[in-house]
Structure 1
Amino acid sequence: MTASGKQTGPLLGCIADDFTGATDLANMLVRGGMRTVQTIGVPHTHMSAAADADALVVALKSRTIDAADAVAQSLAALTWLRAQGCRQFFFKYCSTFDSTDAGNIGPVTGALLDALKDLPGGDFTIACPAFPENGRTVYRGHLFVGDVLLNESGMQNHPLTPMTDPNLVHVLQRQTRSKVGLVRFDVVAQGPNAVCTVVDALRNEGVRIAIADAVSDADLRTLGEACAEMPLITGGSGVALGLPANFQRAGLLALAGHASRLPTVEGAAVVLAGSASRATNAQVAAWCVDKPSFRIDPLAIARGEAVVEQAVAFAREHLKGERPQPVLIYATTSSEEVQAVQHELGVARAGQLVEKALATIARELRMLGVRKFVVAGGETSGAVVQALGVQALRIGAQIAPGVPATVSTGDEPLALALKSGNFGTADFFLKALEHRDGDMS
């Protein structure tokens, strides 16, 4: 503690199940005044940047791996975060609750609860993926995306985690042996004390995890305040909206107006897109109208064609020409085409070919002087940052809801905007490249 009563070192320790989800959460915390550092995987060595942060976010690539592996990685992250002195913990997953009946949200949540049972209140947590700013709301336990239920939003066609049931109580109960309950919207509307009363009642009924309704930012702030004493919170980044204020009320966190400040990064820029979401398809289409682009064909890669080399040559031509300009290299396509490729190559192989190709391209482009990367898709972002050797990111100002500017730590910093496939308007790529708060200018 400092003389003013503020804690030195991180207060909140977060575990995210993919890379763009991690930056989404970190963005929310920075907006609340918490200086935030995101690590790429669980650090194995001392990280000096962690000591200067109010919040730490460990970005895993665990959303679609085997549940046992996801649990092991998440517990390793928790162990590291506890060693850094964090007081509260957050398990972050997608605002569309991306998962299957085998996991991984339920198994990871249960394992984290078990690991934190030594702490007061460690036997219970909420699960709330709501993010109203991006159109995700939870009402009577059902998840809406905009005006439609989750299973009508396009997520029912997701290649890895098709979401066909909008009732999150049912979805989560199929993933865990823990009893799942519900904190209804009418309770949330009554304020934090009412939520705490219902939580106590659910505990007495043997419930360990409760889906929490939220249809507005005010609901998220209510939930955040009600969860101030819970060792573990789970959900989308929206729930984090109310967490910084808890630490401020407790006298542990000073208002940090400089929390989003980042160093400027000079160099060429490129956009890499691997997501097949509707939002990313619209962004790719908008870019391709009048800007240079190169499409990655996984079937051509599978045939042994020199797709990576062709993409790098295309990028070099535009980045090093008389009038240098950023390029888009993408594998984004319609869900029907994705399914056709998966039918021919298999789901796992199709995804791996694209991720490996874009990761290799990113590494080659860095050698050509590219220092600014806009990346669309959680799996793609994970592959790219690993290929670039990024170990941690400082989180800056918001580019779009759920997507902050970031700069990597280390001697040769890179500017990265890592976007969940579902986030951003059609002109997001251009917005990210024009962003002028420290790193994408």
Structure 2
Amino acid sequence: MNVPSKVGFWKKMIIFFLLGFVALSSFVNDVIIQYTSVSVMEVCFLPVLYIYRNQIMQNWRELVKNDGFYLIIAGAALLALGMLGIVVEGGNVRGVLGSIRGYLYIAVLSLYFRRFRLPSLYVLLALAMGALFGDLLLMLKGTFGGALFKSGHDFIYKTNLMALYIAVTCAVLKRNIVLLLLVAVLTVGITIIGAFRINIAVMLVALLGALCVVLKGKSISSIISLLLGLTVAGISGVFTFSQLLKSGILPKWGIFRIVDRTNAFFEGDLDASQDDIRFNSWKLLYTNESDYLLPQGMIVKNEGGGYNDLPLHELFIVFSMPVAIGILFFVLYKSLAFCRNWLTGQVYGSDLAVLGFSVLVILFMFLNGRFLYIPAESILFGLFFGRMIASRRTKT
């Protein structure tokens, strides 16, 4: 790589890191909401959309030409479900419009990336690292500003889970010790300070998926090199974890959420882990099936609650039970098909980062629904979902 190309590479990395920071993290979005009372994170994408406007418009014209019918169907369906939701919710237009955003981004971006490949692993990593860095800044603001740890209230700062998955996956796929080290420290710090247990599951899925990709058909020397990097990253992560515990800045409830509840879950004590609430919500799917025979349209989501813990429940309400079950089986089929294509050597380049996602998407359907109503996560989810269901692949 010559000097001009190095300059161009780092310029591109900085652009996408900043894009992740301002558009896909909680930090900037929190500031925007404080001053405007609404989330308008879409505006943050305009500079990058302008820079790459020629390629985007060319791809968009091809998309409309080939998949225009699907775009119309998706738009009409979301419009109908939105109007139905407004009626059911008693005219709560703002709440329903907020709910429809996630579905819209997933639908449009899935159709787009079903036809066009993902950016490079380095671009994806820069985007994800920017988002995670912004999330960490918001956590630290709460930590040292007193909003979180001095208040004593049971409040958590949540992480962009798709960015977390992408960062871990891309760092492992690039097999760079420095990147692995940075990602390990950042992700462990975010998980402990944020006290959000789903982070652990996402990191494990990302790590295992990336390892499957890297170790497939590799020589002993490559495997040893990767294991060395993971060992260094693991030690760094454990060190970060232990220092946070020893520092005393973590509240007791934070340690309870991330340590005690996790241990209780693996010991099978659902009452102590407080996961009995989630399992009880699953019972609603087969005890109140008559309530889900017809679609009820978009719903206004509460902060967390049952819809977040079990997004499949939300799909039953929005689309009806028969359609939601069809969606679930479609996702399962495409997930297995992607894994089969990978095993047979039909997955190349950046698409290799989707392998772990093909498992993660099933996990999300049953455990965490943020991808349906947090725009920053919906956007990244749409990118990877589109590649998972893609009917054609390219080595370039």
Normalised to the residue count of structure 1, the TM-score between the two structures is: 0.28
Larger RCO, structure (CA 8 Å, separation 6 or more): 2
More helix by share: 2
Structure holding more strand per residue:
1
